[in-house]
Amino acid sequence: MAQVFPAPDHDHGRCTSDAIAHAEALCTARAQRLTPIRRQVLEALLGSHQPLGAYEIIERLAQHGSPPAPITIYRALDFLRDNGLVHRIESRNAFVACVHNHTDGDMVVFLLCEKCGTAGEAPAAGVADALKGATRAAGFTPKAPVIEITGVCAHCRAAV
């Protein structure tokens, strides 16, 4: 099973380069373009494992030049989200990079640490199956099947 929360001392440079390589391969396979602004937005999100709002992304990109317009960031986020490269954390009105291979309708469970702010993406096949059955029985089609759970990650608990 993949680690949900990266260790504090993980190789973040490798983590980021693997995620960019994944994004490039996915875009190539789908005949999509990972334009410079899309790449910059993804790299800003990959800068930490914490969800970022659009204006936080603008602030990070402004450190390397003039700040992009909010509409530019939102369009890039829409592209990245449509291609499964980022997820929206609804409770925080923020986005987090994703390097998992999801298919349409896959359930995503985010564990959000209240101490360090990190978002971990957890496997939830059992929960997903139960919820898919319940939604089908109700004649309901979920648009964005995401569950968010707040708490304290193991790394923060161990640091206390």
CATH for 121: 3.30.1490.190
CATH for 63: 1.10.10.10
Model confidence, pTM:
0.86
Q: Mean pLDDT of all residues in the chain?
A: 88
Residue of higher predicted confidence among 6 and 115: 115
Domain that includes residue 85, residue range: 12-97
Question: Which of 74, 97, 120 is the last residue before a domain boundary?
Answer: 97
Are 44 and 17 members of one domain? yes
Within a domain: 6: no
Please give the pLDDT value at position 48.
83
Are 20 and 89 members of one domain? yes
Confidence of residue 6 (pLDDT cuts 50, 70, 90): confident
Within a domain: 5: no
Q: Give Cα separations from 126 to 45, 114, 129 (angstroms).
A: 29, 25, 5
Strands of the sheet containing 146-151, edge to edge, are 119-122, 108-113, 146-151
Within a domain: 4: no
Are 73 and 35 members of one domain? yes
Are 70 and 117 members of one domain? no
Are 93 and 113 members of one domain? no
Are 23 and 77 members of one domain? yes
Confidence of residue 103 (pLDDT cuts 50, 70, 90): low
Q: How many domains does the chain have?
A: 2
Q: Which two tokens stand for residue 76?
A: 């890039």
Burial (0-12, 13-18, 19+ Cβ within 10 Å), 57: buried
Mean pLDDT across the stretch 146-158? Answer: 90
Are 118 and 93 members of one domain? no
Confidence of residue 1 (pLDDT cuts 50, 70, 90): very low
Within a domain: 124: yes
**pLDDT per residue as tens digits for the range 19-33:** 999 999 999 999 999
